[in-house]
Amino acid sequence: MNLIDVQPVKFSFFEKPPASSMTQAFVYTNEENHFLVVKNGDRITRSDLRAGKYTKVYSVNMTTLNFHYENEVPSQDRGRHFLVDLSIDYKVVDPISLIQQGAGEIVTYIQKKLPYWLEEITSDYPVSEAKRVKRHIEDLHEHSSMVAGLKQVGVAVTDINVLVKQSEDDQEHDKRFRVIDQEDELDEYRREKRLKKASILAKSIQEAIESGNLLEAVLIAEENKDALEIVKNRLYNEEHFRLEVQDQVRKLLLDPTVDAVEANEQIMKIRAYFPHESFSGQYPTSNESSMDDPLAYLRNIYQSTKGE
């Protein structure tokens, strides 16, 4: 969009020169490059037009215009970019400078200069500091090389709105990292759930075994194949140990060289190892007390051996 339109001055005794407005200014110039600005609703008089010997009149657009820019700009991090979405409001404040600099095609001028102005800023920041880049760019209308360059051609920046974020490639890159993090979080959650469930299961099995409810322990363990295998192995080992202890105690009780005190100590040991184990019916009893005491059979053997 060209902000300037130039026409030759046409003098007429019958028609008044055109009036300016808040959105349109007129700049008259003569062969000696003298300029006269008419704006804000004013109108040049016919006498001033003749006295100034003006030959050209420039019509200048004084409205506030907008320029939009959206592109990726390099960051301080190698290979990583900011995505800058920038909206600039600007207007002509010095029509003469605009004409002298031939900057009527101001959009072309901004398009050419803006990438360099932005890169001067963004290249000093890592891609993680998008908010700081945003604040820096928003200050452009107060102090920057861009503002200085536009002022030289008679244009002022009146407002800047900007959105700065990571480039689309970086956003996709971070999304992939987030997917991995989410998978790790789910795996950790599943692991915690499995551990909690296993802990509850192990506690139930342990309580059943300690109370002597071996069948209940097996039934509880059936919920988990690994737990069932562990329980079976434990029961097998405990049974093997129980039989081995019984065999050792039996040999000890049958040994005529062992006295009653030592024999009773061994009986107490087997009771401590297997407090819930019932030995009734495994060995024939010689008296009624053996029915009340599962270990009476072993004690009777000892007494018989001693000849008591």
CA distances from 224 to 15, 106, 146, 200, 250 (A): 104, 77, 71, 12, 38
239 or 99, greater pLDDT: 99
Q: What is the pLDDT of residue 113?
A: 84
pLDDT digits (tens, 9 = 90+) for 64-77: 999 999 999 999 99
pLDDT digits (tens, 9 = 90+) for 3-13: 788 888 887 77
pLDDT at 235 exceeding the cut of 70: yes
Would the pTM of this model clear 0.85, i.e. be above it?
Answer: no
3-state DSSP assignment of residue 38 = strand
Enumerate the β-bridge partners of residue 52: none
